[in-house]
Structure formats: C-alpha cells, structure tokens
Amino acid sequence: MKKVLVLIIVMLCLTNELFSQSAPPNMPHYDKKTLHFGISFGYNQFYSNLIEKEIRPFQDTIMGFDSDRNSGFQLMFITDLRLLNFINLRFTPGVTFGDRRLNFYEYKNDKFLTKSTSLEAIYVELPLEFKIRSKRWRDIRPYLIAGGKYAYDLGSIKRKKANPEEVMLKIDNSEIFYTLGAGVDFYLPYFKFGIELKTSFGLTNILVPEHHTMYSDVLDKIKTQVFYINLTFE
C-alpha cells in the first residue's frame, strides 16, 4: 500500500508539472510513429485461487486452506505497434519473479496444525495486449489494456528435483491468462513515461491431479491471479 501511495504522489507531481499552460506540449508527433520500443518494470502480487472438490476426502483432517498474497517484481521489453489513432497492439515479453504460499489447516491428535508450502514462480511471459488510448490532453494520455498471455514457469525445474515424498502438491509449468488494466502516459521532453495497473487472471487449472497427497486430493483446481504495478519508459 505504501508503494501505491508513493506512485500516486509521483503521478500528481508530474501532472502539476505537465499541466503548465505556458509551455508547448512535449513530443507532439510521438504518437504518429508506427512502431516504437521501450522497457517496463515494477511490483507484483501473486495469489492462488484454491477451489475445493464438491465431495472431498480428509474432511476430518483438513479443516481448511488458503493462499497468501506474496510480492515480487518483473522486467518487460515493449514493442508497440500503432494500429489506429486510438488503438495500439503491444507485445511485452519478459520475466516475472514471484511466490505462491499455500496454507492447509489440519486437526490431528487433538491439535490444530498449519502446514504450508511455498511454490516459487519464475515466469517467462509472452503477453499480447491491446492498448486503447483516450484523446491526448497536452502531455497526458490515459489508456485501457485488454489482452492475454502465455507464461512458462521456470521454477518448475527446481521443483522437479525435490523429493517426491516431501512434495505436498504439484502444479503445471505453463499457464494461459487474460489481462485487464489501465494506465496513464506522461509525455516528457525526451521520452514517454507511464504508470499502469493491471491484473492477469489464470484460465487454466495448474493443479496436477495425478500427484496424490492428502493436500492435493482436497483440491479440484488451482488458478493464479497476478496484480501488477508497472513503470514504463518508451
């Protein structure tokens, strides 16, 4: 939350500077480019949506389960193609680092216990997104984002080396997401700076059902959700 507040303060400061009526607009012909490139980096939060089976075993042992929200960061490379005056197509491949911590609450030997497992995520992502832009107002231009992406989890390589008897549950190494978000571009004298917020929602079930344990057998599906705060430089 503190990081979000800092970003809002920075945005307000930039807005005050860019709305100076005495200065001409920065880079007035920038958006006429057919193709341009840039980089993006920022903060993320991983969350796992755990869906239980309608009729599940171990009801007397596994009393409940949940997922923590864990922080990470990402680095992306931007390729932006102008399609229409208000619509661009963006390809932003990159790497996302995060963590998923799942908690299971047991009742065993007249005691309540918590068993947790951490599933490190190192995603190689291939997002393809539409950037729907508003009309530019001096040096500011808000926009919406809609698209999808494929992600391959390099963290699965490390998990395969673990002792199978110590693995509480297994997850698949690839996922497909759809993404929605919004942002604001600020046109500075020599480059364009942007702040964007977006969320990716997993479409695929990443739980591997063939790996039977007391913990995996109570779950029907696991779907990932990732929230991003990105800073872009183009």
pLDDT at 40: 96
DSSP secondary structure of the chain:
-HHHHHHHHHHHHHHHHHT-TTSPPSSTTGGG-SEEEEEEEEEEEEEEEEEE-SS-S-TTTEEEEEE--EEEEEEEEEEEEE-SSSEEEEE--EEEEEEEEEEEEEEETTEEEEEEEEEEEEEEEEEEEEEEE---BTTEEEEEEEEEEEEEETHHHHHHTS-GGG-S--B-SEEEEEEEEEEEEEE-SSSEEEEEEEEEEE-S--B-TTS--TTGGGEEEEEEEEEEEEEEE-
Tell whether the model's pLDDT for residue 166 goes beyond 70. no
Ordered by where they begin, the domains of the chain are: 35-233 (2.40.160.20)
pLDDT at 164: 61
Tell whether the model's pLDDT for residue 190 goes beyond 60. yes
pLDDT at 9: 47
Tell whether the model's pLDDT for residue 187 goes beyond 60. yes
Percent of the chain with pLDDT over 70: 84
pLDDT at 163: 59
Query: What's the rounded mean pLDDT across residues 28-39?
Result: 91
Alpha-carbon span 44 to 96, nearest angstrom: 8
Alpha-carbon span 13 to 141, nearest angstrom: 16
